[in-house]
Structures are given as C-alpha cells and as structure tokens.
Amino acid sequence: MIAIENTLISEDVVQKQFSCDLLKCHGDCCVEGDAGAPLEIEEISLLEDYISEIIPFMTDEGRKVIEKNGVFDYDMAGEFVTPLVNDRECAFVYFENKIALCAIEKAYREKKQPFLKPISCHLYPIRITVYDQFEAINYHHWGICDFARIKGKQEKKAVYEFLKEPLIRKYGEKWYKTLDEEVKSGKFDELTKR
C-alpha cells in the first residue's frame, strides 16, 4: 500500500495492467453483477435534477424502472446504487451494436446535462472503500474483464494509468501527479518487496 493524503492505494492499482476493450467485452460490467453501480449522495441529486435530459437516451425498460422507483436503489449492505432492469442491467444502460453504453454519459456528451456519470463507473475496475480516517483504493478483479487485462498487457498500461482521467476527477491533478511520481521513482516497488 502507498499513502497519499487521506488515501491508501493497493499495489494492484499500480502493478496490474488494464485497458477496456468494449468491442470484446460489450460493456458487460454495466449488465452483469448483483447490484447497480455505487452512487454518492451528490450524484443522486444530479440524477434527480437532470433525469429529464437523460431519459431520452434510455431504453423503455430503464425508463419504466426510473419512473416507478426513482433514480437510485439500495444494495444488500444498504448503500446507494443505480436501479436495475430485471435484477440485471443498470437502468441507465442503452445498447448500440450490442454494446452496453451509459445514457447518463450520452446525455453529457450531447451537452444536455453537466454530469458525466457516477464516479464508481468512471473509476472501474477501481473500487473505493471509505473509512473514518482514509479511503482505500483497490483493484477489483472480475472475470468479465479478461479482455481488458490482455489489452492492458499489450499496451503496457497500469490500472492507474488507464484511469488517469477519473482519478484526477476524484482526487485532483496534484494527487495523481504524486501517485505517478511515486510509482516512477520505484519507491512503490520497494514498499511491495518488504
């Protein structure tokens, strides 16, 4: 682990290689799983504020779920998550050429609303666990991402490098620069050998 500000970053985040390959995985991380994507409270407010701009990009099934249950649900631990369609795909998913894509992001890219997408989605395969004094930043290994690991090895791209944009979105440029410098200095390698 490496500590930066109030975060602890696992060695897998800097040592594992990863690069999404949507043409091969078809966005299955938005379809598979036992709960929706984790949501922060501020994100629920944004979804509620901009749902009318997002709905036109959603599937009929997703719209019905949102109209019936709202923009969030709870997982088994009582945490906020995106609602699911048929206990499977995220309600905000739409499909293009059999690839699962995000209606929230589509509305953002079309300049209909200012919210890119939930940070948990943008950061995947990183998962953050919040504790009283710090946040633990861990790599989540999931079989459906095998193609991303293959592509990451081909590109020689570490998880944290692939996720530069969302990590900066979450923690800021200074934080990311510090992480990158720590990794490139070899200090992280020294810590993991102990």
Per-residue pLDDT of the chain (194 residues; tens, 9 = 90+): 888 999 999 999 999 999 999 888 888 888 887 889 999 999 999 999 999 999 999 999 999 999 999 999 999 999 999 999 988 899 999 999 999 999 999 999 999 999 999 999 999 999 999 888 999 999 999 888 899 999 999 999 999 999 999 999 999 999 999 999 999 887 666 555 54
Indicate whether 37 and 108 sit together in one domain: yes
64 inside domain: yes
120 inside domain: no
User: How many domains is the chain built from?
Assistant: 2
**Tokens representing residue 23 in the block:** 């043409």
Cβ-based neighbours of 127, under 8 Å, separated by 6 or more: 120, 138, 139, 140
Indicate whether 40 and 108 sit together in one domain: yes
**Tokens representing residue 186 in the block:** 């070899």
Question: 185 lies in which domain range?
Answer: 1-18+125-194
